[in-house]
Amino acid sequence: MRFTLVVHSAPYQSASAGTALRFARAVLDAGHQIHRVFFYREGVHNASALASPPRDEQNLPQEWRALAKEHDLDLVVCIAAAVRRGILDKEEARRYEKKAGNLAKRFELSGLGQLIEASVVSDRVVTFGGGR
């Protein structure tokens, strides 16, 4: 089975981002595929290279990167939500005349079209957080 995950919560805003990460690991361990992980709304903060939690706490952004590297996962960050919240790659930093980007490695900025495409090709789309 092929899954797409949508993460709406920041790493330390609620348990949602951590639950999404554990779910992703369980899906992969069970032999399923993850087509894409899409970070939206406050979830874009999972892609910050500047997150620095205390050493005795889980570092969710780092763990997402490690999982992506191990399983060659596609980690896509909604560009509109990211720029609005100050998460920029080098190109967007130049475009908005900022001194540097802060998008972590293994994450990429893209539009909602990536979420639509992932929804079409996946058997299941599972959303974490965003309960407004």
Among all residues, which ones are annotated catalytic? 78
The amino acid occupying position 107 is F
Q: Which residues of 64-79 are buried (b: 16+ CB within 10 A; e: fewer)?
A: bbebbeeeebbbbbbb
Q: How big is the chain by its Cα radius of gyration, in Å? A: 14
7 close to 38: Cβ distance less than 8 angstroms: yes
Single-letter amino acid code for the residue at 90: K
Q: What are phi and psi of 43, to 5 degrees?
A: -60, -20
78 with 111: CB under 8 angstroms? yes
